[in-house]
Amino acid sequence: MIDKQLLSKRFSEHAKTYAAYANVQKNMAKQLVDLLPQKNSNQKINILEIGCGTGYLTRLLVKTFPNASITAVDLAPGMVEVAKGITMEDRVTFLCADIEEMTLNENYDLIISNATFQWLNNLPATLEKLFTRLTTKGSLIFSTFGIKTFQELHMCYERSKEKLQLSIDSSPGQEFYSLEELSQVCKEAITFSTVSPFEITEIEMLELEYFQTVREFFTSIKKIGAANSNKENYCQRPSFFRELINIYETEYRNDSGVKATYHCLFFKIKKHATLTT
C-alpha cells in the first residue's frame, strides 16, 4: 500500500531536481506521443493528463494538439508549481489532486498518463472510472513500470536477507504488474465500465541505465522523489545495506557501470462507437 502523503511530500521536495534525473520517464513520454491518435491541428479536443509531474508530457501535448483544452493533474503540489512555471499556457489547467479520490465531471477525448499508474493503490477501480469518462471514440493511453523494473535491486535485496538470515517479509518498493497481468486488469475494467467495443495496443520494452556506483543509482531514485513510499516497513539496517551494495556491485557491474533495469509498459485503449442497426 502506497502512503500518498509521503509520496506527495517526496515528489514535492524533489520537483526541482526531477527533470535532471528522469531520463527514462522522458523517453516513455516520447513513446506515448507516438501512440497518440491521428494528430490534427484543427482538433478542439478535451484532454486529461494524470500525473503531470513537472509538465514534460504536458508540453508535448501542447505542441501536438494546439487547439486542445488540457487538464493536468498531479498529487504533489511542488510538481504542479514547477509545471505551471515552465509551461505558461492558458489552455492548460493544472490541478493538485489524487486521481483515485478525484471526482471527474467532464468527458475526455484523450486521457493520458506517463509513469504514474504504479503509484495507485486501486488501479482497477481507477481504470473503471476513467473509461466511463471517455467520449464515444475516446482513447486512454498510458505507460507504467512492469515487473522487471529494478530487478537487480530486488534480487540483491532478497539475497542480502538470506545471507544475513533475516526473516522479515519486506521489499525495497511496490509490486509491479507483468504485461499479461496488466492487460487482464484493463480488459476486466473495460468490460465492467462500458459495453462499447474497444481496441487495445500493448507494448513493452526494457530501458537500461548505468551508474558509476550503486549509491549513485540510489541517489537518482531519490532525486526524482521515487524512493520507497510503502506504508509497510522495509529493512533499513546499515549492515544490511552494506551487504546489498556489495552484492549489487559484484553481480551487476560491467564495463558500462552498475546496471539498473526499467521495464516499461505502454497501453493504448481506443473506444469505438457502438454500432446501431
Q: Residue 230: pLDDT above 80?
A: no
Task: Write out the three cell numbers for 174.
Answer: 511496490
Select from 243, 228, 140 the least CA-distant residue to 190: 140
256 in a structural domain: no
Q: Residue 99: pLDDT above 80?
A: yes
Count of structural domains within the chain: 1
Query: Once rounded to an integer, what is the mean pLDDT over residues 194-202?
Result: 82
What's the confidence (pLDDT) of residue 2? 87
Per-residue pLDDT of 46-84, as tens digits, reads 999 999 999 999 999 999 999 999 999 999 999 999 999
Query: Once rounded to an integer, what is the mean pLDDT over residues 196-219?
Result: 93
- Residue of higher predicted confidence among 128 and 271: 128
Q: Residue 227: pLDDT above 60?
A: yes
What's the confidence (pLDDT) of residue 275? 46
What range defines the domain where residue 77 resides?
4-148+175-208+261-271
What's the confidence (pLDDT) of residue 233? 56
Beta strands 134-145 and 108-113, pairing class:
parallel
250 in a structural domain: no
Distance of CA 29 to the CA centre of its chain: 10
8 in a structural domain: yes
Q: Residue 261: pLDDT above 70?
A: yes
Q: What residues form DSSP beta bridges with 258?
A: 211, 253
20 in a structural domain: yes
CATH of the domain at 11: 3.40.50.150
Query: Once rounded to an integer, what is the mean pLDDT over residues 132-141?
Result: 93
pTM, entire model = 0.92
236 in a structural domain: no
Q: Are 261 and 206 in contact (CB under 8 A)?
A: yes
73 in a structural domain: yes
198 in a structural domain: yes
On average, the pLDDT of the chain sits at 90
Q: What angle do CA 91, 81, 124 make, to 5 degrees?
A: 75
What's the confidence (pLDDT) of residue 272? 73
Kindly tell me the sign of the dihedral angle through the C-alpha atoms of 208, 209, 213, 216.
negative
Backbone angles phi, psi at 219, to 5 degrees: -65, -40
